[in-house]
Amino acid sequence: MTVPQGPGPAAHRHSIATVALGGTLGEKLAAAAAAGFDGIELFEPDLIAAPLKPQEVRRRLEELGLTLELYQPMRDIEAVRPEQFRRSLRRVRSKLDLMLQLGAPILLVCSNVSGDALEDDDLAAEQLAAVADEAEARGLKVAYEALAWGTQVNDYSRAWSIVERAGHPALGVCLDSFHILARGSSLDEIAVIPPDKLFMLQLADAPRVRMDELQWSRHLRCFPGQGGFDLASFTGRVLDAGYSGPLSLEIFNDVFRQADPFRTAVDGRRSLLWLEEGISRLEAEAPDSTPARTPARRATSPAMRSPDLRGFAFAELYTPATAARHLELLLTGLGFERTGLHRTKPVSLWEAGGARIVVNGAHRAAVPPAQLTLTAIGLEVGDVGFLARRAEALGIPRVPKHHNWDEADLPSIAAPDGTEILLCRPGGHDGYWLSDFDPSVSRPLFQPKTRLTGIDHVALGQPLNAFHEAALFYRSLLWLEPLQTQELTSPHGLIRSQAFVRDLTAGEAVRLVLNVPALGDSVRPGSDPSQHLAIHSSDIVASARAMTAQGLGILPIPGNYYDDLMVRFDLDMASLETCRRYSILYDEDAAGHAFRHFYIASPQSRVLFEIVERGPGYEGYGAGNAVTRMNAQEHG
């Protein structure tokens, strides 16, 4: 996997806590280095369980070119009775001596979460100062952090007031985005903290859910860009306050814990590059408010330009030879006609209105899929070279492709689930991808009028381990924006569904939906086809009529659905009966914008074709109909 190498000069070091990665300590360190991190935070249980002696860890870090930024965590130290503090101090001394062997400059102290923590900030300050004395005597420092569930101290401004009260040169604060943003604390107090007291900045995103902060923090943290927090604003505030230490990822996530640490680390590094870009974008949007300070590292040109998406160019389907004829009939029934054959490859082009599908008889895998599979999404982009370089800078792997000298070069990058994203120049440019196709093919005598106009969206089933990575991939590379997550109950289990959208001019948009089984791989096999290709129609009833006339089977929707529809929405009887007749599903948002869609019955296929008519203003995907549709697929 390519290591992201940003073009600008180093300003903020990039760091990751060992707890964020799966594997053994040795694997974690190797993964952090391979992904291009400058440093790490060492999580105590990782050290205790490691066969490496402290001096060996230090040597390993040096060999890998990693700085040890911080040793963590020391718990339940402050605001306790004197006899308990004396025992704690013994532990502190031992860990500080250990830090000298490791070469760790800062000890992280978390605010006391035990039931017997005293409500006495003077005592807390005094005891933290005593800990800082011990650290200072060894040339080390102590960073105090407010946990969101601290018994007395659960807010960063209270932590700072205690540190200020202690007035000890070796004592400062650690700010952690999770604890601050999860509680919705005001960010205004950050500017009050002097730069030389901002010892550490820990970054984590998280989905916006309502749950106990401890559980939320321990299981659902994720990398910046993978959750719902505004980390660019937060981090900008901390940098504005003069913080000059590392940007350090401290993530507790159940999926990351079981994932390949090398892959997770690359993903984490990408999240920091994306975050720095976001900070720069904020600055660019509000130049007046930007004080002089160290720039975020890679806030340089390639990052600051929009990817300039123009829309879907095509969807590429791989078909095994045995299914090729079936696909031709299906596409013809949908109203597609074969408009070109690739000049050198076993590839044909099919078009219907503005919708284009490329059918490929070859596959790059040694063992190609046995079923029809959506293998690639072609996107039209204004500057292909720029976006390819941007992918490289974000550590996104390029798929090697052969093309002849006189053929279009479509740079291909691999999404986390293996789907290829092909970058296509828009029409009128040199190297236009359509020029590779020979239009002299025989066309059918009769072309059904199915009123298709273009690709509406593509939905891709994701393995659990790839979802977070995929979310950040599409967000960072293509500036797609995440919408609210939906939970869909399939007969085989719960599916989480999240749409990513980039609105384009003229009402068009690039829309992508990622579906992930809530409990990983355990969904019964043979369940929901994991890929949907949704094509837009200008008149869905006409589409349904024409496709039915062509002999295509529309996925039958039960009558109960329409009986319920009648009482849910104010549909006139005629519309309702038309929907019922053609198994068209209906949805409507709160503002009354409508969405109509139907599916082509395709048992045994991995790709489900969907025809949609998206009323102006409707931004969803008919999630309320998913249960009915998924059950209908079961019934065949």
Binding residues for its own copies, per CB under 8 A? 22-25, 27, 44-45, 47-54, 90-91, 94-95, 98, 209-212, 214-215, 219, 254-255, 257-258, 464-465, 489, 491-494, 517-524, 556, 558-561, 563-564, 566-568, 627-628, 630-632, 634-635
CA distance 324 to 312: 24
Cβ 275 to its own copies, closest distance in Å?
26
C-beta closer to its own copies: residue 206 or 279: 206
Two tokens, residue 270: 């990408």
Cβ 150 to its own copies, closest distance in Å?
15
CA distance 104 to 141: 9
Two tokens, residue 131: 């800990």
Residue 499: other Cβ atoms inside 10 A: 22
Dihedral sign for Cα 113, 231, 495, 421, please.
Answer: negative
C-beta closer to its own copies: residue 130 or 535: 130
Cβ 129 to its own copies, closest distance in Å?
21
| Beta pairing class for 247-249 and 198-203 | parallel
CA distance 219 to 318: 38
Burial 356-383 (b: 16+ CB within 10 A, else e): bbbbbeeeeeeeeeebbbbbbbbbbbeb
| Beta pairing class for 493-503 and 420-424 | unpaired
Cβ 24 to its own copies, closest distance in Å?
5
Two tokens, residue 262: 């090398």
Angle CA 344–349–353, to nearest 5: 155
Write out the DSSP string of 240-270. HTT--S-EEE---BHHHHTS-HHHHHHHHHH
CA distance 301 to 167: 42
CA distance 515 to 523: 13
Cβ 630 to its own copies, closest distance in Å?
8
DSSP single-letter state for residue 227: S
Cβ 234 to its own copies, closest distance in Å?
23
Two tokens, residue 311: 């829309």
CA nearest neighbour of 75 among 52, 98, 95: 95
Cβ 632 to its own copies, closest distance in Å?
7
* Residue 156 contacts residue 116 (beta carbons within 8 Å): no
CA nearest neighbour of 468 among 181, 179, 226: 226
* Residue 191 contacts residue 243 (beta carbons within 8 Å): no
Cβ 350 to its own copies, closest distance in Å?
33
Q: Which parts of 286-339 fold into alpha helices (H)?
A: 301-304, 321-334
Cβ 624 to its own copies, closest distance in Å?
9
C-beta closer to its own copies: residue 196 or 254: 254
Q: Which parts of 517-625 fold into alpha helices (H)?
A: 540-549, 559-568, 573-582
* Residue 601 contacts residue 556 (beta carbons within 8 Å): yes
C-beta closer to its own copies: residue 25 or 175: 25
CA distance 159 to 111: 8
C-beta closer to its own copies: residue 34 or 52: 52
Cβ 77 to its own copies, closest distance in Å?
13
CA distance 147 to 155: 7
Cβ 148 to its own copies, closest distance in Å?
13
Q: Which residues have C-beta within 8 Å of that of residue 552, sequence separation ≥ 6?
A: 330, 333, 334, 600
Cβ 265 to its own copies, closest distance in Å?
15
C-beta closer to its own copies: residue 7 or 491: 491
The widest CA-to-CA distance across the chain, in whole angstroms, is 94
The residues that bridge with 554 in the sheet, in sequence order, are 600
C-beta closer to its own copies: residue 100 or 494: 494
Length of the chain: 636
C-beta closer to its own copies: residue 430 or 521: 521
10 Å CB burial of residue 558 (0-12, 13-18, 19+) is middle
Cβ 403 to its own copies, closest distance in Å?
37
Cβ 560 to its own copies, closest distance in Å?
5
Task: Assign 334 to helix, strand or coil.
Answer: helix
C-beta closer to its own copies: residue 222 or 357: 222
